[in-house]
Amino acid sequence: MNRDLWILSSFLVLVLVGAASCGPIQALTATSRAKDSLYKAQLADAHVLVPDGRYITPAQYQYQLALLYVEKSKELQGFSKFQAAQRYAAQAASLGKKAIENREEEERRKIRRQQIKSGQVFKKGE
């Protein structure tokens, strides 16, 4: 009887410890994914300002917002608000991916404008 009670209590302790660590692990994993997404966006030069500096591109905006979301996620983890931290980190990862896509689109547009200016490609309707 005593042995069965010990096994049952040990099992319950393991379940409680596992359930308690679930939130922190998920939040940390989501933050890690967000940082990886930001690193890839940085490699794609999503953070680089345009030379004339008249406006901020969608890729730059998304990159900067993703940085803020990662910082907010880390802050919330410090206050043990793991579910909110995970949501911010997931949003940051999504924004990092969108920044990469927008940066690639900006490059395609830039090449297309250069082709049009040089006469290699005609505008529609010409």
pLDDT at residue 21 above 70? no
93 to 57, 65, 77, 106: CA distances (angstroms): 18, 11, 16, 20
Structural domain spans, the chain = 23-118
Residues 63, 89 contacting (CB under 8 angstroms): no
Tokens matching residue 1: 């009887």
Q: Please state the rounded mean pLDDT for residues 30-47.
A: 88
pLDDT at residue 123 above 60? no
Question: Is residue 96 very low, low, confident or very high in pLDDT (cuts 50, 70, 90)?
Answer: very high
pLDDT at residue 81 above 80? yes
| pLDDT: which is higher, 38 or 10 | 38
